[in-house]
Chains A and B, each alone.
Chain A
């Protein structure tokens, strides 16, 4: 009997029951976000760290809508363009989650961005910040480009997971360079390339549809992190549900061993016993 559930995803000392990690930004309402998170089946959600403002007109905040007993919070350093700002933001996130008693205080989704237009990671700042945060005791999940060499540097710097972008953040363009993602996965996880089979690679960013998620997982990714693809869908709750199944489908399919690609057709029904006249025979 085939397994109906995927095994947990281990990242450092964290164990994620769902291989789909979902962001909490850009939803039309907090209620929609709550329902979408539940439909996605995720147990880890990303959040951002920002200056506190006085309460909005309705006096509501994100934390009023996140069940901290249900979700492990993964704070990000989104919006940071320097190593120093990313490290400061990570430490503030840890302080907040420590106050809240959430296990997410020990990890961070590290982003050191190059500019607002592309939101591409700055490789130099990203590497420096990874080293600094690892030395400070963080479990670092690091947003990277789809450059296999950079991925190796980040792994060697102590990142618990390298998270290559499928395509630019929020673009919905899917897995723009599947070969690069596949090379990253092979380099970091296959022993013949000096990798560790238990090293987690999570595709982060640009994933717009369930098929994008499945492609990432079929390439061998251990998980997918997305936000806009659900939050900005016409029906975020239905899309979250679809993304959940797409994650499992890709994970299971990748391990089932796909057929080889052929140039010509291969009939599934036997030729033997056919009553028809076959052209050319």
Chain B
């Protein structure tokens, strides 16, 4: 199925969880906050939250800023 991750379309397997996605894009284990369809998915739910086709996902971290 196709989803959108950080503004880019991406194909992922059906029933892909947030944790599966983070593993796929090399971010599992890194400090990342995830939002799906404009709602935060808490870290505790990453391995159980199943993404739906067309999901819009944002994976963010902290960077330098003022």
**Residues in chain A within 8 A of chain B (CB atoms):** 23-27, 33, 46-52, 54-55, 61-63, 73, 75-76, 78, 84, 88, 91-93, 95-96, 98-100, 169-170, 205, 225-228
A73 and B62 contacting across the interface, CB-CB below 8 Å: yes
Taking a contact as CB atoms under 8 Å apart, the answer to whether A47 and B65 are in contact is yes
- Residues on B with C-beta less than 8 A from A54 are 25-26
Contacts A26-B64, A48-B63, A63-B31 aside, 9 further interface pairs with beta carbons under 8 A come to A24-B64, A47-B63, A49-B60, A52-B60, A91-B35, A96-B32, A96-B61, A98-B43, A100-B31
Given the complex of chains A and B, what is the CA–CA distance between A91 and B27 in angstroms? Answer: 20
Cα(A96)–Cα(B34), bound, Å: 9
Interfacial residues of chain B within 16-66, with CB under 8 A of chain A in the complex: 25-27, 30-35, 38, 40, 42-43, 58-66
Structural contact, A95 and B62, CB atoms closer than 8 A: no
Query: A93–B43 contact, CB under 8 A?
Result: no
In the complex, the chain A residue whose C-beta lies closest to that of B6 is A51
Contact A52 B65, beta carbon cutoff 8 Å: no
Q: How far is the CA of A191 from the CA of B22 in the complex (A)?
A: 53
Chain A interface mostly:
mixed
Q: Is the CB of A88 within 8 A of B35?
A: yes
Partner of A95, one of B27, B43, B64, B66: B43
Residue of B nearest to A48 (CB): B65
Which among A27, A48, A92 is the interface contact of B33 at CB below 8 angstroms?
A: A92
Q: Which residues of the partner chain A approach B7 to less than 8 Å between Cβ atoms?
A: 51
Q: How far is the CB of A187 from chain B (nearest CB, A)?
A: 26
Within the complex, the shortest CB–CB distance from B23 to chain A, in Å, comes to: 14
Q: How many inter-chain contacts with C-beta < 8 Å in the A-B complex?
A: 100
Q: Can you name 11 A-B pairs with beta carbons within 8 Å?
A: A23-B65, A25-B66, A33-B64, A49-B61, A73-B62, A92-B33, A93-B33, A95-B33, A96-B33, A96-B60, A98-B42
Chain B CB within 10 Å, residue with most, of A92, A170, A227: A92
- The answer for the CA separation of A24 and B62 in the assembled complex, in Å, is 10
Contact B43 A99 (CB under 8 A): yes
A27: chain B residues at CB < 8 Å are 64
Cβ–Cβ < 8 Å partners of B60 in chain A: 49-52, 92, 96
Quick one: closest B residue to A78, CB to CB? B65
| CB neighbours of A95 from chain B (8 A) | 33-34, 40, 42-43
Could you tell me if A52 and B61 are in contact, using CB atoms closer than 8 angstroms?
yes
* Contact status B35-A48, CB under 8 Å: no
Q: Which of B25, B42, B66 contacts A228 (CB 8 A)?
A: B66
Contact of B65 among A25, A84, A88, A100 (CB under 8 A): A25
Shortest distance between the CB of B27 and any CB in chain A (Å): 6
- Interchain CB contact under 8 A, A52 and B27: yes
With A95-B40, A95-B43 as contacts: A52 and B32 at CB distance below 8 Å = yes
**CB–CB A96/B31 < 8 A:** yes
Q: Which A residues lie within 8 Å of B59 (CB)?
A: 51-52
For the complex, give the distance between the alpha carbons of A63 and B32 in Å.
11
